Amino acid sequence: MPTSALTGSQPGTTYVSMGQLKPLKIKLELASAGGGGCGTTGGEGKASCGSSDGPQDMPAEVWDKVKNHPCYSEEAHHHFARMHVAVAPACNIQCNYCNRKYDCSNESRPGVVSQKLTPEQAVKKVVAVASAIPQMTVLGIAGPGDALANPKKTFDTMRMLTARAPDIKLCLSTNGLALPDLVDEICKHNIDHVTITINMVDPEIGAKIYPWIFWNHKRLTGIEAATVLHQRQMLGLEMLTARGVLTKVNSVLIPGINDQHLMDVNREVKKRGAFLHNIMPLISEPEHGTVFGLTGQRGPSAQELKAVQDACMGGANLMRHCRQCRADAVGLLGEDRSDEFTLDKLDAMEVVYDLEKRKAYQDKVEQERSAQQAAKQQALAAASALQAAQDLKVLVAVATKGGGRVNEHFGHVTEFQVYEVSAAKAHFVGHRRVDQYCQGGAGDDEQLPSVVRAINDCHAVLVAKIGACPRDELMLAGVEPVDAYVGEFIEKAALDWFNDYRARVASGAVLHQHRGDAAIRQGAYTALAA
């Protein structure tokens, strides 16, 4: 089938030439030693996560779109929340990592959507959440199927919401198959942010991920299906770029299938104007009932994920703070408050949509954010004044419940944030989910080893408080528990700890050792004990 018949492409449009694609070897050692980067221009010297960029790094109108979007700005994700409404149940393709009983893996961790909503119910819910959570700035539609395989429900929701709450940014996520046909509609509804899940630019690899697609009233399989999907994704991305819509690309890292290929994906999506590239770990367990789960396809370890992300530095800007949220998630990334806003609870809620109050709150958050920046700069200035080993670089886990501060007890953590720290910078590189250690007021010693495994590649963990038992266990594992920076901004605390650490290394008080790998937690959290 000619390309133009599949995509409606214009003469001169460049598509990836399948014959030209060659697998690139990713050297894990290289990346973990800090020498990573695929060697293309633009990435050196930047914080590894392009989405950490500030107003000085982009045009004002782009900054205006990203500054309060928790997914498009790493910095914003400490302060601003998003919510999803599950109005899009159908899907037009099948991914081997998806079971329709579970959330869309494009944007979700496995876990059933509690309630599918009509557009009317969805708008009611968004307005109620925005009234209760003034830092909620973005509505996303991310399933549980594909937003654009359900265009009427998706766009009806967006249209009605804009009329009720014009300050909320609109965002959607798609596999891209229907995208080229709906770009005009996306623009008509002022949807500024679109995510396309692109796992390959080579249909031979695609055929291992997608058993079928449904396109033009036909079910296509194998290489043919993957070819159509690939071409539609590339065309859709180009069309969004041409219209100034900020586009993020999500890729699921599937070891042995596309791990060595994601640098090609990164390069190709950058070429077509993607604003961000979000490389996420495959979550795959037999109990999810997915093809990959049932055939034993594993997800990557924490260091494998980081190595692929590091290898892509210098290409399209990387997002590393994705939480693979549910299709009905509510709250800051990493927290889920959807239980507070079920349909029956909404009926009993008094909803006052106060634009001024929301704006006042967001202005306060801006001040806090500036203070965080200033603290970081101050700590960096102090660090550069020290004469010590300049080449040390370590990972530090942080217990935080938001606001960009060290403010959570070790036992209450369900997610550690991980920062890479050197004399030159402290920047966010990922997060690690864990089952909460403190259950019903006491530490659960059975959970402890899995918590330690999740941060086993870190040299220290910064916490607000920690008990004697986990402290001993961490020290035994070689992770230093640190409670000296309670309430401080994370980057400043991490840099201050690092300066102290390298002074200890320089004096011989501590022997600096390379850390091992860490585990990425699969599946849903263990339920908390009552």
> Which residues, at least 6 apart from 474, have a Cβ–Cβ distance to it below 8 Å?
452, 461, 466, 480, 481
Query: Of these, 26, 66, 83, 91, which contacts ligand SF4 (CB under 6 A)?
Result: 91
Residue numbers 81-100 binding ligand CLF by CB under 6 A: 82, 84
List Cβ neighbours of 488 (8 Å cut-off, separation of 6 or more). 375, 405, 406, 496
50 vs 203 by CB, closer to ligand CLF: 50
- DSSP annotation of 33: I
Q: Closest Cα to residue 122, out of 151, 161, 91?
A: 161
- Is residue 279 within 8 Å of 251, Cβ to Cβ? yes
Task: Please tell me whether residue 433 adopts helix, strand or coil conformation.
Answer: strand
Give the binding range for ligand SF4 (CB under 6 A) out of 88-96, 223-231, 329-337, 444-452: 88-96
In terms of Cα–Cα distance, which of 460, 496, 505 is closest to 478? 460
Q: Which two tokens stand for residue 332?
A: 């800051």
What 3-state class would DSSP assign to 32?
A: helix
Work out what residue 324 binds among ligand CLF, ligand SF4, none; the CB cut-off runs from 5 to 8 Å by kind. ligand CLF
CB closer to ligand SF4, 200 vs 482:
200
Angstrom distance (rounded) from CA 87 to CA 143: 7
Torsion of CA 403, 42, 230, 31, to 10 degrees: -70
Answer whether 454's CB lies under 8 Å from 427's CB: no
Query: What gap in Å lies between CA 199 and CA 287, rounded to an integer?
Result: 23
Among the listed residues 31, 138, 395, 429, the single contact to ligand CLF using CB under 6 A: 138
CA 421 to CA 401: how far, in whole Å?
20
Shortest distance (Å) from residue 329 CB to ligand SF4: 15
Q: Which two tokens stand for residue 436?
A: 């909460």
Stretch that binds ligand CLF, among 87-95, 128-136, 323-331, 440-448 (CB under 6 A): 323-331
From residue 134 to residue 173, what is the string marking binding to ligand SF4 with x (rule CB under 6 A)?
A: ---------x-xx---------------------------
Region of 92-100, 261-269, 443-451, 478-486 interacting with ligand SF4 (CB under 6 A): 92-100
Contact status: 519 vs ligand SF4 (CB under 6 A): no
Q: What is the 3-state secondary structure (H, E, C) of 477-503?
A: HCCEEECCCCCCEHHHHHHHHHHHHHH
Q: What does the per-residue mask of binding to ligand CLF show for 236-275, with x meaning CB under 6 A?
A: ------------x---------------------------
Q: Which amino acid is at 181?
A: D
Instruction: Report if residue 333 touches ligand CLF, rule: CB under 6 A.
Output: yes
Q: Contact with ligand CLF (CB under 6 A): which of 6, 71, 209, 423?
A: 71
Q: How far is the CB of 178 from ligand SF4 (least distance, A)?
A: 11
Among 142, 196, 466, 474, binds ligand CLF (CB under 6 A): 142
Q: How far is the C-alpha of 198 from the C-alpha of 244, rounded, in Å?
A: 19
Q: Which does 175 bind (CB under 5 to 8 A by kind): ligand CLF, ligand SF4, none?
A: ligand SF4
Residue 71 binds which entry of ligand SF4, ligand CLF, none, with Cβ cut-offs from 5 to 8 Å by kind? Answer: ligand CLF
Question: Residues 186 to 205: which contact ligand CLF by CB under 6 A?
Answer: 193, 195
Distance (Å, whole) CA 386 – CA 373: 21
Q: Which is nearer to ligand CLF, 82 or 405 (CB)?
A: 82
95 binds, among ligand CLF, ligand SF4, none (CB under 5 to 8 A by kind): ligand SF4
Please give the structure tokens belonging to residue 173.
Answer: 């996520």
**Considering only residues 38, 98, 201, 330, which one is a binding residue for ligand SF4 as defined by CB under 6 A?**
98
Handedness of CA 59, 63, 64, 65 (dihedral sign): positive
Position with the least CB separation from ligand CLF: 140
Euclidean distance between CA atoms 182 and 200, whole angstroms:
22
CB of 325 to ligand CLF, least distance (A): 4
Residue nearest to ligand SF4 (CB): 98
Under the binding rule (CB under 6 A), the answer on residue 104 touching ligand SF4 is yes
End-to-end Cα, the chain, rounded Å: 59
Contact residues for ligand CLF (CB under 6 A)? 71, 82, 84, 107, 138, 140, 142, 171, 173, 193, 195, 248, 278, 322-325, 333
Contact residues for ligand SF4 (CB under 6 A)? 91, 93-95, 98, 104-106, 143, 145-146, 175
